[in-house]
Structure 1
Amino acid sequence: MSQQPGWYDDPQDDQNLRYWDGVQWSHHTSPKRMPGLDQAGQGGGHHEPGPADQPAQVWGGQGPSGGQEQGRWGGQEQGRWGGQQQGQWSAPMPGADDPWGQQPQRRDTTPDGQPLAGWGMRLLARIVDGILLSLVTGFVILPLVDPTLLEDYTTWITTADPASALDVPEGLASGLMRVSLVSLVVGLAYEILMLRLVGATVGKLVTGLRVRMRETPGQLPWGAAAIRGLVWQGPSAINGFGQIFMLLNGLWPLWDGKRQALHDKAARTNVVRNR
């Protein structure tokens, strides 16, 4: 049975904590810091709490390697905030505000604490995927379409009367439709299979990102991978509205409080940082 995600003693350095995402150790670490007990109960003026006052530790309970991992502070401690702090604490997320997602913030996490990907890194991943898909689709399409299709399309674009630009010649229209369908099938197969089997597309693997269910870590089920792929790739087959929807979908994480695009919301997924 997989251990719950969270911050545990780093198996490589006993001075640090390391984040366990429910499947494997991540690259996110944080130094163990004890709250300022030396100042607890001191008088001499009002103290305004600042970032240094925040406790930073996660201990007590069972670690991912099995067995009980008792925090070095253990038991109950009297903190400067007053009251009693239990042996299990919340660990700080490193970094400040960073729209590219290089330094995830405390508020930008899944419910179990895994850092969410920034919009810029997601865009970079999609660019890598787009280049790869263009190459793969080109090799698949070549034997299925007339070799003169590109030349016919270029000729039509440069010579067509603007008033009748929508009147595509029948032969050219059927060829373009075939290209669109092949592109859609290749894109869907790539997106769904990669997410289900690997948890990320090639672009996301290159940029250190991974897709998971928002509420639970681990491998995506087939249903979630299929829904996510259909909502992302499907509108590309619809002229006009489809392109507008895809643009809005891609920009949605910029203002969404959970950093989800529309296809994330449909599949209940999040894109997270894996390193």
Structure 2
Amino acid sequence: MSNPYQPQDPNNPYGQQPQQPYGQQPPQQPYGQQPQQPYGQQPPQQPYGQQPYGQQPYGQQPFVQGGYAVPSAAGMYASWGARLGAYLLDGLILLIPSGLIGVFTGAGFAASFNMTGSRSASSIGMLIIGSLITMIINYAYFIYFHGTTGQTIGKKVLNIRVIRRNNQAMDFVVAAKRMAITFGVAIIQLFMAMLTFGDSLSTLGFLSLINFAASIGLLLDYLWPLWDSQKQALHDKVADTLVVRA
């Protein structure tokens, strides 16, 4: 319905919009010029803190790894303190099954010792079996969580994650490689304990040096991120992995 208070165009009595002649296009903006906003209106802006599509801040270009964006900026690597805190939290969790196994095997060892008055083969064997079970539980814990999500419970709490550098998802093989150094030292220590219980003092001195060297190597492994440019431990270099902020 037309406005009764507005004078009508005698050439357009029904209020229709003028149409372009057939085959002609409406006027266009000159080439290279941007359309202008109506007076008093602001052009649309990007949401605060977001970059235009396809652009990343300089030095933070990510590549996608296993479904997660892995930034190249050095500040995105997990700090040594965060890694230590996650390891301590995981250690507290693993202390529960380890403690239960230790109580059971220790009680068996004490009972056998009281009955025989000496360290029998059965009592020593019980301690060795308990140590092996504890070792298997500990390594299965880390291999499972690192091989599936890259995060143990401790890492999830501290908001850090293990990733691979070759743009592939984590798997159990890579997770097992990360544990190779720690597993090797644990085997040496278990072997030393077996010799100690067996009173094999003839070779104990030489193996003690090996045990000491292995322990120093394990300490260097854990301290290596303090001076490494990519915050890698030695076991990260073996498995070609990184620990980043999740």
Instruction: Give TM-score, length-normalised by structure 2.
Output: 0.57
Question: Equivalent of 1:129, from 76, 79, 90?
Answer: 90
What does residue 237 of structure 1 align with? 187
Structure 1 pair 133/266, CA: closer, same or farther in 2 (3 Å)?
Answer: same
Secondary structure of the structure 1 residue equivalent to 2:81: helix
How much identity, in percent, do the aligned residues show? 31
Deviation of 1:121 after TM superposition, in Å, equals 0.8
Matched, 1:15 2:48: yes
Query: Once the two structures are superposed, what CA deviation does each residue of 1:61-93 show, in whole Å capped at 9, x if it has no partner?
Result: xxxxxxxx266xxxxxxxxxxxxxxxx651579
Runs of 5+ unmatched residues, structure 1 = 1-12, 18-57, 60-68, 72-87, 94-109, 156-166
What does residue 58 of structure 2 align with? 90
Greater fraction helix: 2
Question: Equivalent of 1:202, from 153, 168, 180?
Answer: 153
Question: Equivalent of 1:186, from 129, 137, 140?
Answer: 137
Deviation of 1:195 after TM superposition, in Å, equals 0.7
What does residue 16 of structure 2 align with? none
* One-letter amino acid matched to 2:58: S
Question: Equivalent of 1:268, from 209, 233, 240?
Answer: 240
Q: Whose RCO is larger (CA < 8 A, sep 6+)?
A: 2
Instruction: Give TM-score, length-normalised by structure 1.
Output: 0.52
Check the 8 A contact 1:180/1:237 in 2, yes or no.
Answer: no
Aligned residue pairs total: 167
Q: How far apart are the structure 2 equivalents of 1:179 and 1:234?
A: 18
Runs of 5+ unmatched residues, structure 2 = 1-45, 62-69, 190-210
Matched, 1:112 2:72: yes
Secondary structure of the structure 2 residue equivalent to 1:257: coil
Q: How far apart are the structure 2 equivalents of 1:152 and 1:261?
A: 42
Check the 8 A contact 1:199/1:220 in 2, yes or no.
Answer: yes
Deviation of 1:247 after TM superposition, in Å, equals 1.5
Check the 8 A contact 2:163/2:244 in 1, yes or no.
Answer: yes
Q: How far apart are the structure 2 equivalents of 1:191 and 1:173?
A: 28
Q: How far apart are the structure 2 equivalents of 1:173 and 1:242?
A: 24
CA-based RMSD of the aligned residues comes to: 3.2
Q: How far apart are the structure 2 equivalents of 1:126 and 1:257?
A: 21
Structure 1 pair 255/91, CA: closer, same or farther in 2 (3 Å)?
Answer: closer
* One-letter amino acid matched to 2:48: Q
What does residue 174 of structure 2 align with? 224
Check the 8 A contact 2:150/2:162 in 1, yes or no.
Answer: yes
Secondary structure of the structure 1 residue equivalent to 2:170: coil
